[in-house]
A and B are shown apart, each in its own frame.
Chain A
């Protein structure tokens, strides 16, 4: 069984600064996907960024990038030039195979961007 650990329950950062959210996971599988999902208050969860385990290159999506360390089973999210709209719960998640099967989520990090 897979486990996902997010050790930072809450974080806050000034607007326009950079923030890094941590995530570690454990699995015996070789092919899998890792995700960061954002859940704004009272709104649905949306995908921020996705990383395929067989790809060595770290994924990037505009201001969002990951640092994927497969051997260390670490998958951190970096948000650059943070904006007020980035305020949300952020969940790290593990998905086997193609990644769109059942997901295993961490407990989340509540990120607050301070104006």
Chain B
């Protein structure tokens, strides 16, 4: 296993378009997290899954955002009707629930809305 994988690495889209990002976690990890990181800031929590269940969503996650993890493996994050304020790095992380382990991060998807 090579770690958490995110695709694409970079995405440039026009305002108003929909975009979808994918995250493949470490295979045995049952928890998966999405964070957003804007320039000069630390990552901010968006949502997380335990297996296929979405357990928590931040108030940062407006109704234009939707995340899924249909089979408890990979996850997708979709942003509809993108706005310039959505420009950010979107980070995915995974971990094992209830164990003394760390969260491993992917390299992120950098979204630029023009």
Contacts and interface: CB of A to CB of B under 8 A. Distances in A.
Interface of A: 4, 6, 35, 37, 43-47, 50, 91, 93, 95, 98-108
Nearest to B97: A100
B74 interface: no
B99 interface: yes
A95 B102 CA distance: 10
A100 B96 contact: yes
Interface of B: 3-4, 31, 33, 35, 40-45, 48, 56, 91, 95-103, 105-108
- Which of A6, A43, A100, A108 has most chain B Cβ within 10 Å? A100
- Which of B42, B48, B91, B102 has most chain A Cβ within 10 Å? B42
Chain B contact residues: over half helix, strand or loop, or mixed?
A: loop
A45 B105 contact: yes
A100 B97 CA distance: 7
Given A100-B101, A103-B33, A107-B40, 8 more contacts: A35-B102, A43-B107, A44-B3, A47-B103, A98-B98, A100-B103, A104-B45, A105-B43
B102 to A, nearest CB: 5
11 contacts: A35-B102, A44-B4, A44-B107, A91-B43, A95-B103, A98-B98, A100-B31, A100-B102, A102-B45, A102-B48, A108-B40
Contacts of B102: 35, 47, 50, 99-100
A104 B60 CA distance: 14
B43 A103 contact: yes
A6 B43 CA distance: 13
Given A44-B105, A44-B108, A45-B105, A100 B45 contact: no
A105 B44 contact: yes
A58 B100 CA distance: 17
A91 B42 CA distance: 7
A50 to B, nearest CB: 7
A108 B39 CA distance: 11
B57 to A, nearest CB: 11
